[in-house]
Chains A and B, each alone.
Chain A
Amino acid sequence: SQKIEQNSEALNIQEGKTATLTCNYTNYSPAYLQWYRQDPGRGPVFLLLIRENEKEKRKERLKVTFDTTLKQSLFHITASQPADSATYLCALYGSSNTGKLIFGQGTTLQVKP
């Protein structure tokens, strides 16, 4: 069956360090992979989309990699700040249905001052 797996445990890091979050998937062949941020009581906010032929994408302090051989995406936040504390979700569209976005469980990041 199709699965998207993220680190289920919370990630605690010190301010200023780089946070690295992992997203692994099985039985998908996605052309695109997306990352979202969700704060408590709010809807998810889109951060980055990466295509299968892109190895890496950057936006300010964010960097995403996409390895279709390993079936893995890594999400990095450099120079992390307490304001980066949130749950981060990776998401793929189901292979046979356009419009059906499927989310991983999410990883909660806590950045301590």
Chain B
Amino acid sequence: DTEVTQTPKHLVMGMTNKKSLKCEQHMGHRAMYWYKQKAKKPPELMFVYSYEKLSINESVPSRFSPECPNSSLLNLHLHALQPEDSALYLCASSQDGTSNQPQHFGDGTRLSIL
């Protein structure tokens, strides 16, 4: 079991739907991340939150909207997605985001866009 919990594990949605992915950690970490991973590719960073403030947005389309309600929770709101957005979405956390720290990953949400 991972210490970063992601829900749901699987999500199928149409291109006009609105849905949200959720991520929770109780390790007291102050940095949280969203990654996108396509098959046989490495994870690609989407967003970084540091102390509940968005610190990095890797030019992600506005149909993906992150939210950090508190230090333990991270959401990714999805709207009007495209078929190419089908992927594994991974959440991770680290102590405070500096480069000497490992990241702890959840097992992801497998997203399929019809």
Contact = CB atoms under 8 A, between A and B. Distances in A.
Interface stretch (A58-66, A78-86, A98-106): A98-106
Contacts of A111: none
Given A43-B92, A99-B56, A100-B56, A93 B42 contact: no
B24 to A, nearest CB: 14
Interface residues of A, number: 24
Contacts of A100: 45, 48, 56, 58
Interface in B74-98: 88, 90, 92, 94, 97-98
Contacts of B100: 31-32, 49, 51
Interface in B14-47: 31, 33, 41-43, 45
Interface residues of B, number: 29
B42 A101 contact: no
A34 interface: yes
Nearest to A89: B42
Interface of A: 30-32, 34, 41-46, 49, 51, 89, 93, 97-106
26 contacts: A34-B102, A41-B107, A41-B110, A42-B107, A43-B90, A43-B92, A43-B105, A43-B106, A44-B90, A44-B105, A46-B102, A51-B100, A89-B42, A98-B97, A98-B98, A99-B33, A99-B48, A99-B56, A99-B94, A99-B98, A100-B45, A100-B58, A101-B33, A101-B45, A105-B41, A106-B42
